[in-house]
Structure 1
């Protein structure tokens, strides 16, 4: 084996976070990929708390969705000079025509039935005017393939969204897509994932960790 080959890392660490809180989150309004909202005051405090806890990690790259609530959640890492890429494949699921609406009984029942259909295996069922989990998974694959194709980026930070996060975790941790709701999430939670290039598999070192938010 050449020296160049022997220097290729065999593992990659991915710090996968959900964005911080927005006013839509606080009010229980579904955002999806069609609502490009900002972090609210608490969300900015969550982003700051995460930065203070993890600013000494030597991230080789920051990846985000194309939506600004993910950019804002990691902006201090980007400002520190860490290279950054955004990928629309990491965007939140499109919830369709009901995105951005004030919660109401009709919409709440619609979402309840839709999610129940996903959990029971109907992962190809799309939200009206939006996407299905299966469609989201398909657009996530190129983004993950890009990230994994760069073994010299040994430690990366990825910021994305709640439902999209649940979907991508089924792929990374080799779970059936209909089990996506077994992955908990909250604003600015962390999943720390280790990828082994030799076995081509992930394991989770931390799941939905929020210890960095204690005190907020």
Structure 2
């Protein structure tokens, strides 16, 4: 387990467990939700076991059911753990007209837009589909991390959120440009990324690890 030094905030970022919508190959954005499938529950329980000895000072979750369920499974292993705090700005990217739709069908209808969505976030025309832009997701999520780092300069922070948001947020914190943030893909469901924040300096100890 990572040892937290003085004036260092350790963030434990977790992507929610696999859901019914994930399993059905549909867009699982900020305006749709579904329960975790058994596979997602079991994978999350493995993370919970791995993190059971971490003393969390704060636990944050997206307001969406899949993230809250994931967070509660993890916190169940902490008898004296913090109460879960719901943070609206950790909600998944709102995908507008695409939310809940079959990814394969949207790919057939809008091949160029899907290409930009997947490979060039800076070129993705979010307004065309009533979606949030990547820049908007980055703006709201990075603000959460900045505020928490100030409030807990020596804390252990659990953050449970979503694939696109975590990809955009973490790659931005790593120093990538908007055009680059989708390089390397999205972390898996029920995965753990650990980041140490010391002022303006961040260091990643774990990236998208599954158990």
The alignment's TM-score, normalised by the length of structure 1, stands at 0.84
- What number of residue pairs does the alignment pair up? 201
Counterpart of 2:107?
Answer: 108
Q: CA deviation at 1:146?
A: 2.1
Counterpart of 2:151?
Answer: 150
Q: CA deviation at 1:180?
A: 1.4
Change (3 A) 1:102 1:113: same
Structure 2 CA distance for aligned equivalents of residues 71 and 133 of structure 1? 23
SS in 2 for 1:122: helix
Residues 163-182 of structure 1: per-residue CA shift (max 9 Å, x gap): 11111012211111221122
- Which one is further off, 121-130 or 50-59? 121-130
Structure 1 CA distance for aligned equivalents of residues 149 and 108 of structure 2? 39
RMSD: 2.1
SS in 1 for 2:107: helix
State the structure with more CA Rg. 1
1:55 matched to 2:52? The reply is yes
- 1:123–1:134 Cα contact (<8 Å) kept: no
Change (3 A) 1:170 1:44: same
Structure 1 CA distance for aligned equivalents of residues 98 and 152 of structure 2? 40
Structure 1 CA distance for aligned equivalents of residues 53 and 183 of structure 2? 31
- 2:90–2:165 Cα contact (<8 Å) kept: yes
1:182 matched to 2:183? The reply is yes
Residue correspondence of structure 1 range 130-149 to structure 2 within 5 A: 130-149=131-150
Structure 2 CA distance for aligned equivalents of residues 83 and 22 of structure 1? 24
The alignment's TM-score, normalised by the length of structure 2, stands at 0.86
